[in-house]
Structure 1
Amino acid sequence: MIKQITRAVFRSYYNSVEKFIDHPHATQEKILNYLLEHGRNTRYGSEHQFDEIRSVSDFQRRVPVTTYEDLRPYLNKIIREKERNVLWDSPVKWFAMSSGTTEDKSKYIPVTRESLQHCHYRCGYHMLGLYANSYPDTEFFLGKTLVLGGSKQVNSIGNSTFTGDISAILMKNLPAIVKLARTPERIALLPDWEEKLKRLSEYAKGADIRALLGVPSWMLVLLKKISEETGKELPELWKNLEVFFHGGVSFTPFRQQYERLIPSARMRYWETYNASEGFFGVQFSDRSNEMLLLLDNEVYYEFLPVGEWDKVSPQTVTLSEVEVGKQYALVISTSGGLWRYKIGDTIEFTSTNPYLFRITGRTRQYINAFGEELIVDNADRAMAEACRITRAKVTEYTAAPIYFDDQHGGAHEWLIEFEESPADMDQFKMVLDEQLKKLNSDYEAKRSYNLSLGMPVIRVLEQGCFYKWMKYREKVGGQNKVPKLSNDRKYVDSILEALDLKS
């Protein structure tokens, strides 16, 4: 009976997805009108004449594309001055702390009741509906879900103001019946990372774990710890383990390690795109990891073509104007009070019926020191293929340019931590280089005859080095991520200095 009821509920979740798939543009138009209706009652709406906006072109003309720095003065009015109706017309009780990958200090992203319920939770239901539509035989809901999220803390930004990773905010506000199926809150939200790993490991060893939920890099640390401590393969420990709902970073570099750690033909991996600012995408089917853009989540989407990313007054395109195969930076307006906000992620559509996409990187995570325009998606795919061919396994990596000087020409320096090193490092380097050429014509052109860009320079780090560096920066666990690419040497030099490896 539980199976029948739950599967019927999952089917209803999928039915709601079909509605916006069938009417994508009408759904987005309705969302924009809803957002403007609430925005008119705010300080921000008054300053930008929301009451005179009658069309998308009006909206784009009157409201600038914004960054976090642009919104900071409005956030200060909410946090410090306790002003109401600043960005949204209902109270902001929660702030998601988001350090991203290029900021040293935390950003505080407002989370309203509407964005929590109608974006994050609603899209969680969409995730279940899409997964169950591909796997009607699913039974993960009969056991426990091991959740590895962030931590919560009452922050000094305001009296009784709750802040934390978005995963912590979501978990804190879940219905009681849902909490019963997940890692206990008292463990999952522990602020101390080492203590959390220990307690999660102790809990998970004796539980009927059927699903995993978290960021691939940090979940891998936990699963290895559990496997080593029990001396068992995970399918032996958790006989009903079925699925890993993952997001936050690309799964491509981690897939081999997970398949080795969980050698089970019935194990499934389901990708999500859930950020502090909203829940935007979920894997559409079991045939590929392309994600469906979620359109009924009180988020109005716009897209910046490549040439507009760094302009002072960039020109966006709407959903109806996007083209398959082109790179876009995501711009969002939400019921959390973000207006035409550049989230920093880049995507590429693979279909417009329905709207399917894949994440390709970050607007600030790229290398273009020599005109090569290398993005994270290129790097992840090339790294995965180099590992496949040389039978290596990479734990983490980051790369940055080596600039021209009297000693050498330009190149890319790659800091790589291997779980299993390739037998022939020169072969690994050659394959990595060749794959980057295949994936990126600009990189290939700059590599021609080694004129402006030489062979990759690979520096192998000992296992655990990236973890030590993240711990040194107080950024372990949660949604913190190792930056994959940088157009300067800030991160690479920081790692080498922290590990006392810089010559």
Structure 2
Amino acid sequence: MPVINSIISMFSTKRLAQIDFFKENPIQVQRDTLVELLRRAADTEYGLKYDFDSILTAEQYRERLPIIHYEELAPYSERLMNGEQNLLWPEPITWFAKSSGTTAAKSKFIPVSKESLESCHFRGGKDVISIFNKLYPDAQVFNGKTLALGGSSEISKTNNNCRYGDLSAILISNTPFWANMMKTPDQSIMLMSEWEEKIEKICDTTIKEDVRSLAGVPSWFLTLINRILERTGKSNLHEVWPNLELFIHGGINFTPYREQYKRLLPDPKMKYMETYNASEGFFGLQDDPGDSSMLLMLDYGVYYEFVPISELTKPHPRVLLLEEVETGVNYALVISTNGGLWRYMIGDTIMFTSTRPYKFKITGRTKLFINAFGEELIIDNAIEALKQTCEKTGATVMAFTAAPVFMEDGKKGAHEWIIEYGTPPVDLENFANILDTELKKVNSDYEAKRYKDMSLQRLILHAARPNLFNDWLKEKGKLGGQNKVPQLWNDRTHIDELLKMNQG
């Protein structure tokens, strides 16, 4: 075992025991988390409003406080940014994670407390290191640098000295100096706002470094990797960085990109770890290389509740506690945190794959789906169908979006897709036929609506020109970092814009 790995192992022993404890005692740990959150925030404006001191059980908490969305949180964020304090959390809130959630123009400003940074976000990063070191005690990752590709948003200040930026910029700005010594490029480059210039600067400064791990969003890393290979004339990334061994990824589903990464990173020593680190908190990480699910992290100062997707449209949806969830069901995630979020619906949907321990997969967004005809197509369905279609055709997908074609003038409906390929299919019509078939396999409602073309015709498929999605994001001022193309949308807002740009 390398010396650095031995040191990490020594310091990780206690933490790994704590992880084992919450895996064995999940309900107790979550109840203790709720009690502590309520105790800490009892004298805040929100705590006094809902009388946190008198809440004794999780059931009482569920009954008394409403579920909120960003629209209800926004007035508190605005007041905090104007200098008021002790509204949601007892310690001063001076950092705000700026997030759009989608590519909509309106920005969200999520309060980030010092405690949530240290006990949630940074603890999650440390746990990634501890678990990886436990899984691979002989790995050489920690003897070199980590190339971290974060957002393209610099830190900004309000008149009240509150600071905001995307989450990655906040984490970079608060990372201890010793941790930054292990990363590349330096902060001045990582915090650059101009994405295209940033990519060139990263190439300039990292090609000669001993990069052994990567950390970031898979789609944006592809842009960087392809530029590095173009600049160096190499055929794969191991020819640039021979010691590269680990990719820590998150933000989007990795499945559509897996084959491309296998070609760009062909060395069998490459390892992958998925994390779930959102603006609102760090929620999960992959702790078993043989299982693509993530472990729900239960002791980060986050208390979880779950709304079945089937309940979302009801005036009073049923909300489940952790001990009430089942595997194989889609849930909208509701969180209460040490950043001052109280029963906040984050907008992501997950499905549990195990309850001993609690492990899950991200299945999509509460707003990112197509249900124009009762088909209830979610991201997870689309990703799986694309994966199977690519395997059968040899194609690879860089980005995609899909939306409904509504029934007009007596015409039947359909789904319309636009896909940007890494490796295009030889026959686009054949790709469309297979994709349509695979969608039927993974979604019985879609299959029923497609039966004899009664409600839905076969999907319509367009091949996107190179860089279409990047150009679209650039036009909206959202190129780079953590911004994402909405892969499914229940109206034609985005796809019509993309189709128009695709025509020239």
Is TM more than 0.5 here? Answer: yes
How far does residue 322 in structure 1 lie from its aligned partner after superposition? 0.4
Q: What corresponds to 1:462 in structure 2?
A: 465
3-state SS of paired residue (1:130): helix
Q: What corresponds to 1:295 in structure 2?
A: 298
Q: In structure 2, how many angstroms separate the alpha carbons of the residues matched to 1:286 and 1:135?
A: 10
Q: What corresponds to 1:47 in structure 2?
A: 49
- Deviation digits for residues 66-120 of structure 1 (CA, Å, limit 9, x no counterpart): 000011111122112x211001000001000011116321100000011000010
Higher mean C-alpha deviation, range 419-428 or range 141-150: 419-428
Q: In structure 2, how many angstroms separate the alpha carbons of the residues matched to 1:8 and 1:259?
A: 33
Q: What corresponds to 1:59 in structure 2?
A: 61
Answer yes or no: is 1:38 the counterpart of 2:40.
yes
Equivalent residues in 2 for 1:20-39, closer than 5 Å: 20-39=22-41
How far does residue 10 in structure 1 lie from its aligned partner after superposition? 4.1
Q: What corresponds to 1:92 in structure 2?
A: 93
Q: What corresponds to 1:160 in structure 2?
A: 161
Q: In structure 2, how many angstroms separate the alpha carbons of the residues matched to 1:214 and 1:304?
A: 29
Contact 2:8 2:130 in 1 (8 A): no
Q: What corresponds to 1:474 in structure 2?
A: 477
How far does residue 358 in structure 1 lie from its aligned partner after superposition? 0.3
Contact 1:35 1:298 in 2 (8 A): yes
Q: In structure 2, how many angstroms separate the alpha carbons of the residues matched to 1:243 and 1:111?
A: 29
Q: What corresponds to 1:355 in structure 2?
A: 358
Answer yes or no: is 1:126 the counterpart of 2:98.
no
Contact 1:154 1:160 in 2 (8 A): no
Contact 1:243 1:269 in 2 (8 A): yes
3-state SS of paired residue (2:421): strand
Answer yes or no: is 1:315 the counterpart of 2:318.
yes
Q: Percent identity?
A: 47
Contact 2:395 2:424 in 1 (8 A): yes
Q: In structure 2, how many angstroms separate the alpha carbons of the residues matched to 1:487 and 1:349?
A: 25
Q: What corresponds to 2:142 in structure 1?
A: 141
Contact 2:115 2:338 in 1 (8 A): yes
Contact 1:13 1:128 in 2 (8 A): no
Q: What corresponds to 1:173 in structure 2?
A: 174
Answer yes or no: is 1:328 the counterpart of 2:331.
yes
Q: What corresponds to 1:378 in structure 2?
A: 381
Higher mean C-alpha deviation, range 279-288 or range 305-314: 305-314
Q: In structure 2, how many angstroms separate the alpha carbons of the residues matched to 1:189 and 1:13?
A: 31
Q: Which amino acid aligns with 1:111?
A: V
Q: In structure 1, how many angstroms separate the alpha carbons of the residues matched to 2:21 and 2:130?
A: 13
- Deviation digits for residues 261-319 of structure 1 (CA, Å, limit 9, x no counterpart): 11111111111100000000001201021100000000000000122213343221000
Contact 1:11 1:133 in 2 (8 A): no
Which segments of 5 or more consecutive residues in structure 1 lack a partner in the other structure?
Answer: none
Q: In structure 2, how many angstroms separate the alpha carbons of the residues matched to 1:404 and 1:260?
A: 42
How far does residue 444 in structure 1 lie from its aligned partner after superposition? 0.8
Q: What corresponds to 1:428 in structure 2?
A: 431
3-state SS of paired residue (2:336): strand
- Deviation digits for residues 154-187 of structure 1 (CA, Å, limit 9, x no counterpart): 4364432211111111111111111000021111
Q: In structure 2, how many angstroms separate the alpha carbons of the residues matched to 1:117 and 1:312?
A: 37
Q: Which amino acid aligns with 1:259?
A: K
Q: Which amino acid aligns with 2:384?
A: R
- Deviation digits for residues 102-151 of structure 1 (CA, Å, limit 9, x no counterpart): 63211000000110000101111222222222222222111000000014
Q: Which amino acid aligns with 2:397?
A: V
Which segments of 5 or more consecutive residues in structure 2 lack a partner in the other structure?
Answer: none
Pair 308,113 (structure 1): closer, same or farther in 2 beyond 3 Å: same
3-state SS of paired residue (1:404): coil
Contact 1:36 1:50 in 2 (8 A): yes
Q: Which amino acid aligns with 2:100?
A: S
Contact 2:304 2:322 in 1 (8 A): yes
Contact 2:155 2:170 in 1 (8 A): no
Q: Which amino acid aligns with 2:370?
A: I
- Deviation digits for residues 425-455 of structure 1 (CA, Å, limit 9, x no counterpart): 1221111111111111111111100110110
How far does residue 25 in structure 1 lie from its aligned partner after superposition? 0.7
Q: What corresponds to 1:408 in structure 2?
A: 411
Q: What corresponds to 2:346 in structure 1?
A: 343
Equivalent residues in 2 for 1:233-248, closer than 5 Å: 233-248=236-251
Higher mean C-alpha deviation, range 95-104 or range 9-18: 9-18
